[in-house]
Structure 1
Amino acid sequence: MGSILVWKFNAATFNFEPAVSLKDHKMAVVSLVVGANRLYSGSIDHSIKVWSLETLQCIQTLTDHTSVVMSILCWEQFLLSCSLDQTIKVWAATESGNLEVTYTHNEEHGLLTLCGMHDLDGKPVLLCSSNDNSVHLYDLPSFSEKGKMFAKQEIRAIQTGPGGLFFTGDGTGQVRVWNSVAVPTAAT
């Protein structure tokens, strides 16, 4: 339990074959992301493991969450994570290269998934779904709320698209297309 299976493409057979199993989590892995030549895995065991893609060894374990790490996002020089512990954590590398929490954003509900995009001005916006069936849009780095949307059930998947579009998938099986472009209003 708690292992990650690494697959390698075999050009001779045109198939993917198991290469190695990464075993360091104590419980099931529920989130994975690759960035900065690292693999980051979030688990039910409340931890994030940082794996070197060169050696496939765990090089750091992050233990600041107190519940399931549901989603991880690599963005620029930061790692963001969200959890059922009702927090979003922003991680940054120290001089030694280890990741440490530089900011914790608290919410009223458990958090399910993270996704990042840029608004029309090129400013970063974080999308975060919670288990109250909502998606929050936050300006970064301030975490000021830019908007909020609701669905019929928990939104488990968010993906960005071109031109300010993003997509959500919820527990009913419904996929919705959203446009983050604000409608211009007349000046008064």
Structure 2
Amino acid sequence: MISEGPWLFVGIPDAVKVWNMQTQAEMNLTGPTGQVYALAIGNELLFAATQDGRILAWRFSTVTNCFEPAASLTGHQLAVVSLIVGGMRLYSGSMDKTIRVWDLATLQCIQTLSDHTNVVMSLLCWDQFLLSCSLDQTIKVWAATESGNLEVTYTHKEENGALALTGMPDAQSKPVLVCSLNDNTVRLYDLPSFSDRGRIFSKQEIRAI
């Protein structure tokens, strides 16, 4: 679930449900096959990560007052489960163990990152870096080289699979990384040092933060 302006978007099986919180209008965006696992907004486009490995895009039309299909991004071999927009790039993580980097201007894939060895569960843009976490029990930090391509600059090893990432400032406005694991805990780390800030315990897995 994400929101943008008056709009609320929720991924459901075979569709994206849309509500306008000002007018109370609602609509279904059809096209996805299977569960919609993630949503993102960038360059005036709504992106949906689908179970069949596609990323579908819609653009709002002021003529029809509806979201119109704009593109279908293909390349992943299995379900896409995570999306994030940073700058003019869309990043997608998949069950095929890869991250794809898409140019938002052309909607073309410009790089495929294959360093993870299991499902890429969550992505986070922080400062000039891309962070990714996986069921392979790692959190990876990616940075652009002089050529513009992303490379891993640091790999943080966990004892369990990582499920979701988010970032937040602490009381001194220093960045803190929040990561949920499949042992029913949430870990907190200082960035960029990955110094341990503590953990939160839950009775079940936390799939979204």
Tell me the TM-score normalized by structure 1: 0.83
Q: Any runs of at least 4 consecutive aligned residues in structure 1 with deviations exceeding 6 A, and if so which?
A: none
Q: Does 1:144 align with 2:158?
A: no
Q: Does 1:30 align with 2:73?
A: no
Equivalent residues in 2 for 1:10-159, closer than 5 Å? 10-158=61-209
Q: Which residue number corresponds to residue 19 of structure 2?
A: none
> CA offset at residue 139 of structure 1?
0.6
How far does the alpha carbon of each residue in 1:81-115 deviate from its partner, in whole angstroms, 9 at most, with x for none?
00000000000000000000000000000000000
Q: Counterpart amino acid of 1:102? A: T
Q: Which residue number corresponds to residue 177 of structure 1?
A: none
Q: Counterpart amino acid of 1:95? A: E
Q: Which residue number corresponds to residue 5 of structure 1?
A: 56
- Counting aligned pairs with the same residue, the percent is 72
Three-state SS of the structure 1 residue aligned to 2:96 is coil
Note the residue ranges of structure 1 that are not aligned, 5 or more in a row. Answer: 159-188
**Number of matched pairs:** 158
1:132 & 1:112 partners in 2: Cα distance? Answer: 10
Q: Which residue number corresponds to residue 21 of structure 2?
A: none
Q: Counterpart amino acid of 1:36? A: G
Tell me the TM-score normalized by structure 2: 0.75
Q: Which residue number corresponds to residue 161 of structure 1?
A: none
How far does the alpha carbon of each residue in 1:50-101 deviate from its partner, in whole angstroms, 9 at most, with x for none?
0000000000000000000000001110000000000000000000000000
Q: Counterpart amino acid of 1:86? A: Q
2:95 & 2:208 partners in 1: Cα distance? Answer: 18
Q: Counterpart amino acid of 1:120? A: A
1:8 & 1:152 partners in 2: Cα distance? Answer: 40
Q: Counterpart amino acid of 2:188? A: L
How far does the alpha carbon of each residue in 1:116-154 deviate from its partner, in whole angstroms, 9 at most, with x for none?
011111111000000001000001111111010011110
Three-state SS of the structure 2 residue aligned to 1:156 is coil
